[in-house]
A and B are shown apart, each in its own frame.
Chain A
């Protein structure tokens, strides 16, 4: 019995399964990121809002989500939440890829809570005089944010956001528990079909590491290309 069977990873059915898993993981990452960013921005603005009830709403969102493990979120959005929907919508959803949808919702909402905090910190890093200057020029809260504060804040925020993206990428693996055929799932399937645990998980680890390093590289590049302007 060879120590490490490369052929398993390079060609054939098991290779295809692992690659399909990797592609699905990347899709989960992309879809969740696209959804999480706007939610995070809205939540960050809620937390900085001049209106107390809106601030509480933002606070409640961030703290509830951040303090419950992602695994629980995943199971809730798959086994729990959809059951509350009206029968018709439920049936329509269940006939489709409910596993992947639930995973994307759980991942987006979870990641958004962390990203919101990064964005909020970024906004708070901009001196208040900038905001006050905007208001003095006659802009409202939202316009001041949009025209004066956010363009500066987002530049500060991008490196931590990329770091959250890294966490999001690794977190996609938790979708396994609700039957989403992503990378960890497929590695497990290949293992149980072939008993070649080392090879299948080596593939998964190498794939996670490669994509993670690429994301880290992106953060470093951005940092050099767009340094934070001295305020």
Chain B
């Protein structure tokens, strides 16, 4: 991984400033509980969207079972804090690890598949995970896992989000990340150039899964209760929509996608029946008129404004 550059520090300072402003607005109650909830949700969604983007956008493996890994993390974390009374930080680490190990075990065989087949296999895996959880009475089965303490607050969600973004950003700029991108561009050519495609596909998948697991722990400890129906493939589609809206292969795109869609669904909270209709129309319209998403595979940066109109294809 690359050493931390001046630009990273600048972004870190920017992040801290955003945190300070939002946190003080929350403490003086300018931002009410409804929007606080949505801001925390935005942070969790950014983690999920950017980690899914690592698999779908940067490595080019079409996975649509992200909610399954989130569920694994959520349940593992909840078992740790509720049943075993262990600290929250440990729950986060274990949740991420368990989801990551599962991602590795699942990724190893399934990533031999490509394109449509991989999509349907990951979708199926997500469902298998959910149905398995549904059948475990220890974690509440169909009635859900109750009595989880609210450990997640804005601070946790925000700093874990920052951590995820920095990690993924540095990962894709590293040798490993470049290898992942080369697989997206042309798997056969990458293989011919000596890239161990299986290794990198599994690596990206495992990392993506563990971040999803971490987000799951945050999710579980914010909403008191988790339920197998919270992790259906509709949820995976939500994250897919965020990634696609922002642009496959753009981290800032994922952030924008997560923020926009969380806001839209918050704004439509009174009309839940319209939410999915608008989501779906947006997806279709987006694919018809701007299939690369809002940002394509570019990042939003100051450079982007300087070099207007010129095709700069570098990432970050």
> Are the chains A and B members of one assembly?
no
Spell out A's residues near B (CB within 8 Å).
none
